[in-house]
Structure 1
Amino acid sequence: MVKTLNAPLVGLESRGPMPAARTPRRIGGLGGVAAVAAAFTLLQLVLVRPGMGLGWDEAVYVSQVSGHTPAAFFSAPRSRGISLLVAPIASWSSSTSLLRVYLAVLSGLGLFLALRIWRGLFPERVVVLAGVLFATLWVTVFYGPEVMPNYWVAIGALAGVGCFLRAQADRHDRPALWGAGVSAALLAWMRPTDAVWVVLPLFVLLVCVRRWRRPRLLAALVVGLGSGVVGWVAEAYVSFGGLGARLADASRIQGGLGWNIAVLDQLRSLGGQTLCRPCDSSLPAPQLIAWWFALPLLAAVGLAVAVRGRRTARTLLPLACAMTASIPYLFMIGYAAPRFLLPFYALLALPVADALVHLVTTARRAWRPAVVTLAALAFAGHLAMQYVVLEDAVSRSTAGRQEWARTAAELHRLGVRPPCVLNGYEALPIAFYAGCSSAQTQGHNANTTRQDFLRTARRTPTATLTTEEEGPPGYARDWPSHRFGDLRIHVSPAARAGTRE
């Protein structure tokens, strides 16, 4: 295997064969990578806390496979991969804590497998440091145990690019070939549109650069992508009126995709906002976002180190895939969420780690203690800032989800119990907590007509939720209204008839 990895990656490695990755001091076997993955799992369990309730999007994904609550409306941009991933737990248990532990362990295993692929392509200490850099970002720790697809897109991207490079180095490496296909499938099942952006540089090399052509590798990627995309396209025709209609709906829900510089929006979201829409807040404090500005500088140093070490392809390809993965979220969307850039951070971690190792190890001997100390202090400060943001994000998310749970309990007290229907402000997540269906007649989650909703309300316990500032909709003006926190709960006659005091 070592011999095959030292073979030329023809095309981009124009200066001759790739030298063996120099590892002056190996971290025994897979111990370093395993330690990073285990620590990542532990961080999730300790800092995010398994008892944190499910968020809005999580409620949608879990409800698709849950045996305890009706399936919520599944809008056009979504894909079914993350629902299938949590089905082994969510299909029989309503325990959020059990689901969080399951995902924390699974995300640690995913990180271990993805990093393991890069051993031999980069020195082991670089791979371990890359894992540390990615696994300690607040957004990575927060979304590892969440029922959201973005972390798994990042893992698929990291593993897929590594398998691609291995398959290029040795055309007889069948595990790498299979790994590329499985990684492409993971990407496509989680988010088909993201998958296309991530693998774009790989397809360009396979199709347009003669020396990089590998028909079997191309077939593996196509089959892997197809396994997820075909289902998404079929669902488009069954539920959305066709592929064009689904893509148009997805664009509309996301505010209309097109040229839109969202770099500042992403910076604003780094202060701990899980969703920045509309994104009109002030920028976070400089110390909270300084690391974001260091990334491109360190990545450039990493590329220079790779060119000098005659291993350009190993660094340039993850950089290229990171860039294409970030394009829709930095330049084509009108809002921001920090999770969108997880694939970007995962792929960028390798060249950044390579740059940091190079800067520390090549310093003059007299200066090396000072350089190491400075790097350690900078990293400690970076970690401190990350976990300040993480604690804030967890606290705010937990508070919001507890409020949904309290509202669900109040609905039950008012007679809105399963089978029941909710409509109005934040009806979708509250309906999940209450065990109800959610029915919207307008907006991004519209899934019924006003007439059908009123017909249901006459025979099923129903409530419409509004804010204090809003008045009730016309059909609910005669329904009893109850104030609960910042909400007004308008309860249908069918619910009142079933109230038990």
Structure 2
Amino acid sequence: MYGTRQMPLVRHALIPELPGRRTSGPLPWLTTIALVFVAVQLAFVVPGSGLAWDETVYVSQVGGNAPPAFFSAPRARGISYLVAPVASLTASTTALRIHLALMSAAALVVALWIWRKVLPTPVLVGAGALFTGLWPTLYYGPAAMPNLWCALGALTATGWVVRTLCGAAGRAGAAGAGAAVALVALMRPADGFWLALPLALAAVLVPGRRLPGLCAALVGGLVAGCVPWTAEAYAHYGGLVARLHRAGEIQGGLGWNLAVDDHLRALAGRTLCRPCDIGWESPATAVWWVMLPLLAAGGISAARRSGRGAVALLATATGFSTAVPYLFLVEYAAPRFLLPAYALLAVPVAEYIAYLFVRARRTRRPAGVAALALALVAHLGVQFSVLTHVVRTSHATSAEFAAVAGALNSMGVRAPCVVSGADAVPIAYYAGCASRQTSGHDASITPGALRELARRVPAAVLVTGGDAPPPITGGSRVVPLRDYRTYLLPGAATGGASTVPPN
């Protein structure tokens, strides 16, 4: 179907006839998608970009421009390992962005290539184009954030599981699936769990194809990926249970929280919607999102006609599983959270679109083909419009942080130094200072210890709007600085050999 020849590969209760014969190779098409993916990032996302708040935390752990920022309980160090080869050598944001853009494009090709024995080329290429055409995918391609890598890992793991269940993977299937789950767990342990859960169940519940070895590989990959996070829990957080509890507190408490409407509103260009008490600014940006379940259902139905129903069903079920915590358990929204779901749901959606195109052509309905093409062009236009808005907003924010940091440097707050208060984490990074908070999620120092530290190195406390300054600022010199009131703590020097103690 869809211009590809099929041959029987494996037949059993849930996975019927699948394509096992190579057609015109998908690699040139996948390479083209990857090149366009990189080109859009380099042309529209990378130029003039600075590191966002979370990025400064991850990058500072392995180099960059400042001492390591406080690493709160929910975070995992996978993305820090990924950026380390560049961040340890240079503080250049552009170099880091190019590195990540190229890496993400190469990983995309690998992840899709794994599916080549169970999907025809049009569906495979369509899935890649649909996923890379989303504004969150393009925006986070060159970002030092873990979510896109979780998406690519989820796509890879599911591809290996499908191939293994179909008998089209050989010995590499279980190892590949386990390694991909380990990558996701290394980036975000919770995402690794919600990915491994449906895949492991499929490995032991599919009639006629129960593969306990595959299930063991998936569980082993999850455990292996969580080892660094677990070890750090015992080293710095008082144990695994204590870290899980603290991570839940920072995320607002994990429990029943219907965040579907929050995600709808965030699609208009909010990289983080917390609290998400805004109006629905642009409903048109969420039309594709509302249609996604219907398109996926249509894709499953279309795939069944071609003998790939179980493939589309497993991709859909796994995608839904990765979305569950963010739609129903976390009380805020960020479009990046659902990238793993989008990557997997692109498979059944591509099945449905390919089916509609073939049907329109076979019935000689050029109007139908034109309508589908126009709908896809309109969708991409909306995605690009939101992307430009997000890029413009993020560039302005990072430029503001950099300007405040430059002003602090000009006032004598230069490395070694410390910054506390509002937006201290990114501003400290740009200033080359350590960030230390006396309260909140990133609390890492007591007020007395910060006051003592200020006697040895330059220290500044930032306050915004009408917020009252903390008691520690008593007797400090106040300097208005853009949207901040900057309190230079008494005893701040302009240089010296003193260093800021680690967190």
Q: Which category of TM-score, normalised to the shorter sequence, fits these structures? A: over 0.9
Structure-to-structure mapping, 1:23-34, within 5 angstroms: 27-34=24-31
Residues 152-209 of structure 1, C-alpha deviation per residue, up to 9 Å, x if partnerless?
0000000100001111222771232322122111111111111100121111123444
Paired position in structure 2 for 1:73: 70
Pair 1:86 & 2:88 matched: no
Normalised by the size of structure 2, how large is the TM-score?
0.94
1:352 aligns with 2:354: no
2:368 maps to 1:371: yes
Q: 1:162 aligned to 156, 159, 162, which one?
A: 159
Judged with a 3 Å threshold, the aligned counterparts in structure 2 of structure 1 residues 483 and 205 are, in CA distance, closer, same or farther, namely: same
**How far apart are residue 469 of structure 1 and its match?**
1.2
* Match among 315, 319, 325 for residue 322 of structure 1: 319
Change beyond 3 A, Cα 1:222–1:414? same
Instruction: Indicate yes or no: 2:439 matched with 1:439.
Output: no
Tell me the distance in 2 between the aligned counterparts of 1:237 and 1:212: 39
Aligned partner of 2:452 among 455, 475, 481: 455
CA contact (8 A) 2:160 2:169 kept: no
Equivalence for 1:20: 19
Superposed displacement of residue 50, structure 1: 4.0
Q: 1:441, CA displacement in angstroms?
A: 1.2
1:204 corresponds to which letter in structure 2?
Answer: L
**Residue 424 of structure 1 corresponds to which residue in structure 2?**
421
Q: How many angstroms apart in 1 are the aligned matches of 2:18 and 2:45?
A: 42
Matched position secondary structure for 2:479: strand
Q: Relative to structure 1, is the Cα distance of residues 215 and 5 closer, same or farther in structure 2, using a 3 angstrom cutoff?
A: farther
Contact 1:260/1:332 (<8 A) preserved = yes
Name the SS for the 1:271 alignment partner: coil
Deviates more, 1:412-421 or 1:356-365: 356-365
Aligned to 2:340: 343
Worse overlay, 158-167 or 358-367: 358-367
Find the counterpart in structure 1 of residue 272 from structure 2: 275
Work out the CA distance in 2 between the residues paired with 1:181 and 1:205. Answer: 14
Aligned with 1:261: secondary structure?
coil
Distance 2:39 2:492 in 1: 45
Distance 1:67 1:357 in 2: 45
Alignment correspondent of 2:471: 474
Q: Distance in 2 between matches of 1:284 and 1:376?
A: 27
Instruction: Please report the RMSD computed on the Cα atoms of aligned residues, expressed in angstroms.
Output: 2.0
Structure 1 residue identity aligned to 2:415: P
Q: Please state how far the C-alpha of 1:20 moved relative to its aligned partner.
A: 2.6
| Equivalent position amino acid for 1:295 in 2 | L
Deviations 1:96-138 (A, max 9, x none): 0000000000000011001111112111011101100000100
Give me the identity figure in percent.
48
Output the CA distance in 2 between the equivalents of 1:4 and 1:213. Answer: 25
Q: 2:186 aligns to what?
A: 189
> Would the aligned equivalents of 2:460 and 2:486 in 1 still touch at CA under 8 Å?
yes
Counterpart CA distance in 2 for 1:5 and 1:183 is 28
8 Å contact 1:414–1:496 — kept in the other structure?
A: no
Q: Which whole-Å CA distance do the structure 2 matches of 1:199 and 1:10 have between them?
A: 23
Query: 1:498 offset after TM fit, Å?
Result: 5.1
Correspondence for 2:499: none
Q: Which moved more, 1:219-228 or 1:457-466?
A: 219-228
1:136 matches 2:133: yes
Partner of 2:60: 63
CA 1:459–1:35 in 2, change beyond 3 Å: closer, same or farther?
Answer: same
What does residue 100 of structure 1 align with?
97
Counterpart residue type for residue 365 of structure 2: R
Matched position secondary structure for 1:148? coil
Please point out which of 163, 168, 173 is paired with 2:170.
173
Q: Distance in 1 between matches of 2:95 and 2:64?
A: 15
Worse-superposed segment, 116-125 or 261-270? 116-125
Say if 1:128 and 1:435 are closer, same or farther in 2 by CA, change over 3 A: same
In 2, distance between residues paired with 1:469 and 1:132? Answer: 47
Q: 2:447–2:472: 8 Å Cα contact kept in structure 1?
A: no
Q: 1:70 to 1:364 in 2, by over 3 A?
A: closer
Deviations 1:316-373 (A, max 9, x none): 1011101110000001111100000000100000100100110121136455311111
Q: Alpha-carbon deviation of 1:310?
A: 3.0
Q: 1:454 to 1:214 in 2, by over 3 A?
A: same
For the structure 1 residues 80 and 134, does the alpha-carbon distance in structure 2 shift closer, same or farther, using more than 3 Å as the test? same
Gap change, CA 1:224 and 1:3, over 3 Å in 2: farther
**Correspondence 1:401-412 to 2 at 5 A:** 401-412=398-409
Match of 1:307 in 2: 304
- What is the CA–CA distance in structure 1 between the aligned matches of 2:120 and 2:128, rounded to whole Å? 13
Q: Who is 2:462 aligned against?
A: 465
1:8 pairs, out of 10, 13, 17, with 10
Name the count of aligned residue pairs: 493
The 3 A distance-change label for structure 1 pair 140 and 110 is same
Question: For 1:44, what is the secondary structure of its paired residue?
Answer: helix
| 1-structure distance, mates of 2:186, 2:230 | 12
In the alignment, structure 2 segments of 5+ residues that lack a partner are: 497-503
In structure 2, C-alpha distance between the alignment counterparts of 1:9 and 1:163, rounded to whole Å: 18
Q: Deviations over 1:51-76 (max 9, x none)?
A: 30000000000000006420000011
Q: Find the aligned partners of 1:405 and 1:6 in 2 and give their Cα distance.
A: 60
Q: 1:73 to 1:5 in 2, by over 3 A?
A: farther
Equivalent position SS for 1:489: strand
Q: Is the 8 A contact 2:131 2:137 kept in 1?
A: yes
Determine the C-alpha separation between the residues in 1 that align with 2:174 and 2:200: 15
Inter-CA distance 20–209: structure 2 relative to 1 (3 Å threshold): closer
Structure 1 portions without partners, runs of 5+: none
- Structure 2 CA distance, aligned partners of 1:485 and 1:19? 62
CA distance in 1, matches of 2:452, 2:189: 37
Distance 1:412 1:5, change over 3 A: farther
Deviations 1:191-229 (A, max 9, x none): 111110012111112344463322332232233222211
Contact 1:9/1:313 (8 A) holds in 2: no
C-alpha contact 2:78 2:186 (8 A) present in aligned 1: yes
Alpha-carbon distance, 1:288 to partner: 1.5
Q: 1:27 to 1:281 in 2, by over 3 A?
A: farther
Aligned partners of 2:420 and 2:460 also within 8 Å: yes
- The SS at the match of 2:117 is coil
